[in-house]
């Protein structure tokens, strides 16, 4: 039984497992964006005509980059630099999706924009409140 879980992070707490979950979802979305560059139209439902193949591929690469950083954090959560970089990925996501909804009006409530906003908000709250538990300065 121990062999089955040997690849999971060797730490206490649930945050690293949340990081693995969000990373897996990010990789899934990135692959979808790279294989089908217009896949992002599920997020930008208010102006789907503005989603181009180039924008879809760019979004896919950004999402993949964020997922990799979050995955590294899951396994190195006590390292301050990677913890900060991971916080930055969630802040960037929160700012991006919030601005697409509130400022640029490319996304509607519901659809694909709610999930990234919820995930970024939960993750940031969790990471800020548990900073001293995980990061050993």
Q: Is residue 10 part of a domain?
A: no
Segments forming the whole domain that contains residue 77: 15-131
**Could you give the CA distance from residue 78 to residue 124 in angstroms, rounded to a whole number?**
16
As a whole number, mean pLDDT of residues 48-62 equals 95
**Could you give the CA distance from residue 92 to residue 90 in angstroms, rounded to a whole number?**
5
Lookup: tokens for 29: 């979305």
As a whole number, mean pLDDT of residues 77-92 equals 97
**Reported confidence tier of residue 121, pLDDT bands at 50, 70, 90:** very high
**Contact of 90 with 67, CB cutoff 8 Å:** no
**Could you give the CA distance from residue 7 to residue 105 in angstroms, rounded to a whole number?**
42
Helix (H, G, I), strand (E, B) or coil at 119: helix
- Counted domains in the chain: 1
**Could you give the CA distance from residue 44 to residue 58 in angstroms, rounded to a whole number?**
15
Q: What pLDDT is stored for residue 3 in this prediction?
A: 55
As a whole number, mean pLDDT of residues 19-46 equals 93
Q: Give 82 or 8, the one with higher predicted confidence.
A: 82
**Could you give the CA distance from residue 84 to residue 82 in angstroms, rounded to a whole number?**
5
Residue 112: count of CB within 10 angstroms of its CB: 17
Q: What pLDDT is stored for residue 1 in this prediction?
A: 45
Q: Is residue 80 part of a domain?
A: yes
Q: Is residue 2 part of a domain?
A: no
pTM for the complete prediction? 0.91
Q: Is residue 6 part of a domain?
A: no
Backbone torsions φ then ψ of 112, nearest 5 degrees = -90, -5
**Could you give the CA distance from residue 120 to residue 52 in angstroms, rounded to a whole number?**
25
Mean pLDDT across the chain: 92
**Reported confidence tier of residue 7, pLDDT bands at 50, 70, 90:** confident
Share of the chain above pLDDT 70, in %: 94
Closest CA to 73 of 20, 3, 132, 7: 20
As a whole number, mean pLDDT of residues 24-33 equals 95
**Reported confidence tier of residue 100, pLDDT bands at 50, 70, 90:** very high
Q: Is residue 124 part of a domain?
A: yes
Lookup: tokens for 67: 């997922």
């Amino acid at each position: 039984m121990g062999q089955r879980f040997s690849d999971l992070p060797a730490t206490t707490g649930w945050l690293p497992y949340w990081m693995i979950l969000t990373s897996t979802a990010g990789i899934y979305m990135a692959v979808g964006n790279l294989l089908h560059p217009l896949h992002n139209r599920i997020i930008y439902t208010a102006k789907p005509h503005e989603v181009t193949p180039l924008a879809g591929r760019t979004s896919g690469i950004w999402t993949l980059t964020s997922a990799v950083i979050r995955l590294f954090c899951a396994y190195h959560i006590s390292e301050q630099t990677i913890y900060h970089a991971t916080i930055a990925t969630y802040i960037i996501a929160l700012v991006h999706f919030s601005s697409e909804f509130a400022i640029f009006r490319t996304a509607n409530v519901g659809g694909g924009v709610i999930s990234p906003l919820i995930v970024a908000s939960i993750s940031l709250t969790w990471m800020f409140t548990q900073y001293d538990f995980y990061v050993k300065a």
